[in-house]
Every structure is written in C-alpha cells, then in structure tokens.
Chains A and B, each alone.
Chain A
Amino acid sequence: MKKRISALLMVLCMCTGLAACAGKQDGKKSEKPSEDEIVVSIATLNNPIVSNLVKLAQEYYDEKGVKLDFAVLPENDLREKATLEASTGGTTYDIYFTGPYEANFWITYGWAENLQPYIDKMTDEQKESLDLDDIFPSMLDSLSDPETGDVYALPFFGEASFFMYNKELLDNAGVTMPENPTWEDIYDIAVAVDDEEAGITGMTMRGAPGWGMSGAPFVTIINAMGGKFYDMDWNATVETDEQRAAWEMYKNILRDAGQDDIITYTYNECISLMNSGKCGIWYDATSNGPNLEADDSLIKGKVGYAPAPSGWLWNWGMNVNPNSSDEKKQAAFDFMVWACSKDYVDLSLEKDPSGASTPSGVRASTYELDAYKDLPYAQPTLDALSDLDFNNPCKDEVPYVGLQYIAIPEFQEAGDKMTESLAAYVTDEITLDEALAATQKAFEQAAEEGGYKK
C-alpha cells in the first residue's frame, strides 16, 4: 500500500512540477506587459515588403494595449503551417497571410473569419484610410466569397509577373528586348547575354521546389505555350506536346543560361544575383521589381521591364483566425486596416522613397501618387496587372481557375510533386518522360481523390 502511495505521490509531484513550470511561464508572460494587453500573433512570410511592415509596425503601430508578435516564416513553411493550423482549428496565430489560392477553400470551410461585420462597423477614420473602393476589384474579389460578396481577407500587396532585365548587359551582348517577347525570344536573349567567362548569368528564375516557388513561373510558361493540366472532364493532360515544350523551355533556359545552383534558388537569391549586376533577365513577380531599384542595388536605374507572354496573379492578404477570442479578432482587424490602408502606403514611401518596401499592386491611388508613379516599374506593373484573366488561364477551355496554380486543395500536393519532378529533370536526375509520367500520375490522383472526376 505504502509503495503505491509513494509512487502516486511521485507522479503527482512530477505533474505539479510540470504544471508549475508551465504556469510560471504563463504568469511571467502576462505579468511583464500591462495587465490586459492583447498579443496579436501574425504568421507572415519573408518578403521584403512584409519585412518592412514588421519593422514599421513595431515602430509606428501604436494602439494601446495591443502587442504584435510576428512569426516570419519562409513561404513554404508558412503555407504548410497555416493550412495545418487552420484545418485543425489551432489558435497559434491570430492573423494569417494567405493568398487567393487558400481563400478559395478557406472561405468554403469556414477557416477564415468573415470580415464583413467588422468592415461595416469601421469608424469613419478607418473607412477613409482603408477606402475599399480604391482597391483593384480583382484583388478584393479573389479574397471574397463569390456568392455573397463578403470580404474574408484584406489584400496587403498584389503582384503579377513580368520580365526584368539589365539593359546594360543586353546592350553589351548586342540584343534588344522586343516589346512583347515570347519565351523563344527570351531564350535567345538569355543565351546571348550569358557569358560564363565573365561570370555573367543570362537569366534567372526560381528553381527551388514548391508549387509557390518554382511552380509559379513554371506554370505560367505552360500556360503561355498552350499547355493545360486538365481537360473539361478532369482528365489530367500533362503528357502532351504543349507541356513537353514548356518543360524543355524551362530546362533549356536554366541549363544553357541560368544560375549555377539552380534548384536552391528562391526569389531572395534571384534578387541578390540581379542586384550584383551579373545577370541579364529575371522573370518574377512585379512586387520584386522595386528591389532592383533599391539604394544598395548595383543596377539601380538600369533595369528594363517587359510583359510576360502569360503572367501570374497573386496577392498576399491577411485574414483573421475565427478561433481567436473576440477581443483579439477586433484587435487583429484594426491592425489589418492600418497595414492595408492608404496611410501605410504613404508612410512606407516616406521612409523608403525608392518604393522597394511599399505595398504595390493593390490600390489604384498608389499609382497616382507623385512619389510613386514615376518610379520605373510603376507603369509596367500596372500594365501587367491589367491584362490577366484569372478565370480563363489557358488557351483552351479548362474546368479550373487560377493562373499559376489550380484552385483546388489537392493542388498543393500535386503541384509540389510537379516541381520536385521539374527539379530532378532540370538536373538530369530523371528524363523528361519520367518527369511527365510522374506529374501526370500526381494530377490524375488529385482529380480522382478530390472527387472532381466523374
């Protein structure tokens, strides 16, 4: 008997000890800040524009009793964590940075808070500074419920894609960028500019696997070359000549004229490479353009822009976790209004006149500001944003929407597998036939398991 009791006691001691540790931890946290301070946790990505938001928010966002806690995650990490958290109803974060891809099914499944009630309750001051009518309708629509029109996330910055090129290097190589280049043109220019001996790379693109990484430029190449992923009956159509051509194009560009560590490149590495003045062309998001004009860039003022044959459309918006407490939700919404407002655009432009850290691609008014409209990338960005059709991504009719992705939850896995095959194909680990077969299988499986295929 005695033994049992002593054992029990030990277990108890241990548990209380543990609880005490945990409790102490909690206690310490709530003690330090003033009593009813609300901590709003924000899961966000490591993009230059967002990094600037983190910095400015900590300096200038001054709402009594609210403390902001940013988790800056790599893009792939953010997606994985956010999806798992949202689907299991976690409360680790109060605000998630998500895009139209997530919005599609997050709204359906109730993983994002309906912001309409909050928007209706806004103060006049908030209303004026947020000014929803000023936001491009396409951006707001992609984050709203298509049936009721209720807004579920506020867009922070938006992007399309275009070519950015180093005019000097192109001149040196004796080539010019046509007004509306095709991918074949781009390949020729890239190869002409590439000069291994001088250490000059012809062209760079994201190469790191992940549907939001190398997947983004790659799928738009497929779209541009007439490929598609499904026919109208949801049969996967990866093993086709159009797709084959696109896969070859991507590989040829990067192998014949691309960066060295192809499959480790995310946009951050691309920025470094371009800014060092040793790379001819970069195909990426319009929101990255401003980085090339930043003060520490060696190619400031030497950058030309050209529209993509078929671009992508994306925006990073903020939505509120429906499982957070009401207090936190309101505090989170107030912060979002601040961050997505016109005033924030002004503030960021004031702090960094180069525009490199100003949220772009969301508001018409940004492109009318004196301080912004003459920046070299402003007009090309506006053009790129305007000629995209989110609902008709391909030349043929397809059953899905989305430009650089397919708006079904299963695309995350299929798209990741596709980019993994792509990386293996680019580095000659597998042949094109193997890569296409694997991708075909992944998309076929997605359509079947998702229940789209009849």
Chain B
Amino acid sequence: MKKAVVKRDARSRRAAAKKEARRWIAGIVILAFALFYFFPILYMILSGFKTEADAAVPAILFHPTLVTWQKVLADVSMINYLKNTIFHVLLGTGICLVIGIPATYALVFAKFKKEGRGESLYNWFVTTILLPPVAVLIPLYITFKELNLNHTRGGLLFLYVGFHLPLCIWLLYSFFKDVPEEVVEAARIDGCTNRQLIMRIIIPLTKTGIMTAGLLVAVFIWNEFFLGYNLTTNATATLPVYMARFGQQQGQFIAQLSASASISCIPPMIFGWISQKSLIKGLTAGAVKG
C-alpha cells in the first residue's frame, strides 16, 4: 500500500520535473529569440558608447567611453529637433485627449436627432484613419506656405492633432461603451453636469483606455515622419527628419549615428515598456467591440 503511494508520488514528481524542465527550455528558447530580435537596438545603444574607430568594427566587447555622447549632446541642432519633438508629443497628446474625451463621450451617450447619427459619425472618424498623409500633402504644402505656417510649430501641431484624433477616439470608444448606461443615467438624475460627469465618473472608470489612447498617440506623434519632413523648416523640424538626413549628412559616423538614434528611440521604448500591460488590455478591448 505504502509502496504504491511512494511510487505514484515519484512518478508524479518525475512528471512535474519533466514539465518544469520543459517550461525552462521554452523560456530559454523564447528569451534567445527575443534577444536576437532585440539585438539591432541593443547593439545600437552599445555603439553609442564607442569611439568612431571602434564602431567601424562590429563587436560587442569594447572600452565604453562617453566621447561620442558628449559630441552628440553638444550638437545644438540635434537638441533643437529634440525640443520640437517633445513639444509636439506633449501638447499634441494633451490636446487630443482634451478634445477626444468629450467627443467620445458625446458619441457614446448623446441622443442624436437622427437615430444612428452617432454611429455614423464614429464610422466617419474611423475611416479618416485610412487617409495616407501623402494624399493630402500638396494642398497642405500650399496652405502652409501661404500662411507661413512652416516657420511655426503651431501648424504642424494642428495637423498632428487632426491626424491622431480619430485614432484616439477609436481607442476610447469601446471603453466608454463599457461604462454601464445606468451609471450615467443615475448620475444625471443626481444632478451631475456634463463636466462633472466626465471628470468624476467617466474618466475614473476608463483610466486604462485613456492611458492606452494617450500613449499610442504619443508614440505615433513622436515617430511621425512624413508631415514633419515636408512641412517644416530647419528650425521647426522634428527628430525623425534629423534621423533620416543623418546617414547622408554626416558620412559614415556609426558611433554618432548610434548615439543619436538611441536618443530618438529610448523615450518611446520606455513609454512602451511601462505601459505594455495596459496596452494589451486597451487594444484588446478596442478589438472586441470596435
């Protein structure tokens, strides 16, 4: 009797160990793949700490130095591009949310005169995401020239808001739909004004969604290239423009290139890392009901 138990114990223990081993192997395999996948970025970050001479030879082991970083950070034009990008990301995302939240709130909860008007408005917003910027470049270019907007950051900021609002609304929509109508109804009966309703009820209930939308919009604005490339002057251009010109402009300075590239991608990457859980949740919610 006892023997049997021991035997069964041993067998299950062996099975468990086998399972455990399989788990570890799977973990190592995927980690190896992840490292491989991430390698170009990793190597780029490392190369920023090399001297130019070291960087000409691909190698992972080297003497780290800050010389290249000092050179890059001393480059005034680079800092200017960075400033412009930060300006657009902060204000652009902020304005998108400030306008997008009430708009989505209205789309979801307002009774429109015509049945389904809200729905069709929402669909209209979503279809505008499809529009490739290159399709509207010419009129925008001419308008910007006429109004002298390419000398200011405001013009591009306006476009960024316009082009990313639909995305913002699309992401927020499903979250707002999740808020039970009864809650809103009850609050209204209690005498909540619209502003109070948004501030006290909607926003706390849809935090994840707002985070997701804000983060995605921020990342997209940070990385936006086409409009920034064609509608700016030297003083108002953004980081992606700097990166695109870098290769040709500076000859083959790999270390400098790497350091600048690191600046261009570390902030959004950290954004992404911090928010990956809420992104997964947010995009999923968007998927199911969107």
A interface residues, Cβ below 8 angstroms from B: 14, 17-19, 21-23, 25-26, 29, 41, 46, 69-74, 77, 84, 88-93, 266, 268-269, 271-272
Query: What is the minimal beta-carbon distance from A391 to any residue of chain B, in angstroms?
Result: 33
Bits for B71-111, please: 1 = Cβ < 8 Å to A, else 0.
Answer: 00000000000000000000100010001000000000000
Is the beta-carbon distance between B145 and A25 smaller than 8 angstroms?
no
Give the residue name and chain of the B residue nearest to A39 (CB): B235
Bits for B120-156, please: 1 = Cβ < 8 Å to A, else 0.
Answer: 0000000000000000000001100100111111110
Count of chain B residues near A, Cβ 8 A = 24
Is the beta-carbon distance between A92 and B249 smaller than 8 angstroms?
no
- Residue of B141, B149, B152, B157 near A84 (CB, 8 A) is B141
Is the beta-carbon distance between B233 and A21 smaller than 8 angstroms?
no
Query: What is the minimal beta-carbon distance from A19 to any residue of chain B, in angstroms?
Result: 7
Is the beta-carbon distance between A90 and B145 smaller than 8 angstroms?
yes
Question: CA A26 – CA B99 in complex, angstroms?
Answer: 25
B233 surroundings in chain A (CB, below 8 A): 41, 71, 92-93
B-side binding surface: helix, strand, loop or mixed?
helix
- Residue of B95, B152, B248 near A25 (CB, 8 A) is B152
List CB contacts (< 8 Å) of B160-202 with chain A: none
A-side binding surface: helix, strand, loop or mixed?
helix
- Residue of A22, A23, A69, A74 near B249 (CB, 8 A) is A74
Question: CA A91 – CA B145 in complex, angstroms?
Answer: 7
B interface residues, Cβ below 8 angstroms from A: 91, 95, 99, 141-142, 145, 148-155, 157-158, 233-235, 245, 248-249, 251-252
A89 surroundings in chain B (CB, below 8 A): 145
A73 surroundings in chain B (CB, below 8 A): 245, 249
Query: What is the minimal beta-carbon distance from B153 to any residue of chain A, in angstroms?
Result: 5
- Residue of A17, A29, A84 near B95 (CB, 8 A) is A17
Known contacts A72-B249, A84-B141, then 14 further A-B pairs from the complex at CB < 8 Å, ordered by chain A residue: A17-B95, A22-B153, A22-B157, A25-B152, A25-B153, A46-B249, A72-B245, A77-B248, A88-B141, A92-B150, A92-B151, A266-B248, A268-B252, A272-B251
- Residue of A26, A271, A272 near B152 (CB, 8 A) is A26
- Residue of B95, B151, B251 near A268 (CB, 8 A) is B251
Given contacts A21-B153, A74-B245, A89-B145, contact A269 B99 (CB under 8 A): no
Question: CA A266 – CA B252 in complex, angstroms?
Answer: 11
Query: What is the minimal beta-carbon distance from A368 to any residue of chain B, in angstroms?
Result: 32
Give the residue name and chain of the B residue nearest to A48 (CB): B251
B95 surroundings in chain A (CB, below 8 A): 14, 17
